[in-house]
């Protein structure tokens, strides 16, 4: 007998080669089933029922969908979400693309330092962000208002404020039309670095030879950017914008900490995700809340398809063909 005692025990514990991989990946699937798939299916089931969280459920068919599609507050929340989405996505991607392009160029030193600093806001906790922005955006003691009041002494600035009927001190978190700008500002600050990293990665896949060829042909930096970088980055832009659509339409955390669970004055900061949370967990109308989640999901799919129409194609693969 060549086998000793120890190998006998390990032999018995050893898994069949066919089974082993499934055992090793099972933790993910078990967790996904419980926390991912089950809630998705259960809320789909709930969206056809009326349920207050405690009592009996009753099947109501499409009633919940009919109810929310005729609900003013629901459409208000959709409007707020879309406005915030537009206000933050456009600057986010413009800044991110520009920054990535600058960082990728040869003349920038300390690339790692800049990359890390731009990415820092993304990993900062929401509570810390809320405190900082509270200090920045405060009505009477906020830093931004203090700066604007100082700037207001300069005649051209004063003229600008007067033409736009902009009262100081501004109620960044109190006045409905400003609340959305404040939230969008926070989002832009937080996610520009994340998008920048995506674009930066995309830029590095573009072969240096293309840039060199352009330089030999005498192209300016602007021409290089619009004629080489942008077209070749199209798939990356598509990816980045899709992520923004998914993230911003489900927007919840940032407005929640900034203006509170009720969405602030005039519900200007009440996104659809916040409204469905309030309907479900505060008002106990879980059926209606679930139906909203599914309608929101459909909106995200539609917008993503539109995005695909706009940005699909292009990129390096097409170039090679």
Partner 1 sequence: MFSRKSLLLTVMAFVMAASLLLGGSPEIMAEDVTTITVAAFPDQDSGFEAILDDFHEKHPHIRVELEVADFDDHHQTLLTRIAAGSNVPDVANVEIAFVGDFVNRGGFENLTAEPYNAGRFEEDIIGYKWAQGTNDDTGNLIAMPLDISPGTMFYRRDRLDELGVDIDDLNTMEDWIEVGEEFVAEGDDRWLFADAASVYEMIRRSGDHQFFDDDGEPIITSDKFVRAFEMAKEVRDRGLDGQIGEWSNEWFSTFEEGTALVHTSGAWLGGHIQNWMAPETAGKWGVTNLPDDMYINWGGSFVAIPEDAENKEEAWEFIKYVTTNVEPQIKQFEAANIFPSLLDAFDDDIFEVSSDFYGGQNVRELWLDAARQIPEVNTNRYDNIAEDIVGDALTEVLEEDKDIMQALEDAEELLRRRMR
* Interacting residues toward partner 1 by CB under 8 A: 50, 52-55, 67, 71-73, 134-135, 138-141, 171, 173-176, 261-262, 265-267, 278, 281-285
Give the residue among 239, 238, 231 at the shortest CA–CA distance from 319.
231
Least distance in Å: CB of 89 to partner 1?
27
Gyration radius of the chain's alpha carbons: 26
Retrieve residue 244's tokens: 């923004």
Least distance in Å: CB of 135 to partner 1?
8
Least distance in Å: CB of 173 to partner 1?
8
Q: Considering the complex, state which of residue 29 and residue 42 has its C-beta at the smaller distance from partner 1.
A: 42
Least distance in Å: CB of 99 to partner 1?
32
Distant-in-sequence, close-in-space partners of 126: CB < 8 Å, separation ≥ 6: 253, 254, 257
Q: Considering the complex, state which of residue 190 and residue 278 has its C-beta at the smaller distance from partner 1.
A: 278
Q: Considering the complex, state which of residue 167 and residue 217 has its C-beta at the smaller distance from partner 1.
A: 167
Q: Are 58 and 151 in contact (CB under 8 A)?
A: no
Q: Considering the complex, state which of residue 74 and residue 311 has its C-beta at the smaller distance from partner 1.
A: 74
Q: Considering the complex, state which of residue 67 and residue 122 has its C-beta at the smaller distance from partner 1.
A: 67
Q: Are 239 and 198 in contact (CB under 8 A)?
A: yes
Least distance in Å: CB of 71 to partner 1?
7
Whole-angstrom CA distances from 53 to 176, 179, 281, 289 are 33, 32, 9, 12
Q: Is the peptide bond before 169 cis (omega within 30 degrees of 0)?
A: yes
Retrieve residue 67's tokens: 């109810």
């Amino acid at each position: 007998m060549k086998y000793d005692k120890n190998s006998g025990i390990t032999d018995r514990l050893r898994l069949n080669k066919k089974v082993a991989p499934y055992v090793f990946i099972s933790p993910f699937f078990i967790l996904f089933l419980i926390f991912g798939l089950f809630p998705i299916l259960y809320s789909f089931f709930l969206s056809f029922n009326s349920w207050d969280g405690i009592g009996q459920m009753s099947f109501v068919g499409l009633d919940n969908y009919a109810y929310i599609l005729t609900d003013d507050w629901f459409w208000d929340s959709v409007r707020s979400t879309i406005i915030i989405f537009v206000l933050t996505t456009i600057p986010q991607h413009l800044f991110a693309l520009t920054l990535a392009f600058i960082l990728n160029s040869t003349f920038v030193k300390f690339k790692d330092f800049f990359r890390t600093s731009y990415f820092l806001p993304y990993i900062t906790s929401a509570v810390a962000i809320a405190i900082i922005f509270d200090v920045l955006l405060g009505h009477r003691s906020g830093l931004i208002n203090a700066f604007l009041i100082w700037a207001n002494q300069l005649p051209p600035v004063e003229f600008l404020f007067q033409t736009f009927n902009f009262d100081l001190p501004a109620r960044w978190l109190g006045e409905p039309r400003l609340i959305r700008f404040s939230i969008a500002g926070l989002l832009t600050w937080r996610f520009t670095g994340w998008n920048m990293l995506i674009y930066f990665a995309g830029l590095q896949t573009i072969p240096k030879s293309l840039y060199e060829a352009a330089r030999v042909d005498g192209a300016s930096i602007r021409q290089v950017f619009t004629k080489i970088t942008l077209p070749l980055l199209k798939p990356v832009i598509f990816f980045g914008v899709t992520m923004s659509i998914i993230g911003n339409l489900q927007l919840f955390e940032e407005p929640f900490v900034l203006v509170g669970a009720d969405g602030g004055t005039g519900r200007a900061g009440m996104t659809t995700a916040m409204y469905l949370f309030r309907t479900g967990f505060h008002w106990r109308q879980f059926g209606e809340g679930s139906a909203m989640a599914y309608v929101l999901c459909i909106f995200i799919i539609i917008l993503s398809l539109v995005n695909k129409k706009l940005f699909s194609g292009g990129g390096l693969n097409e170039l090679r063909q």
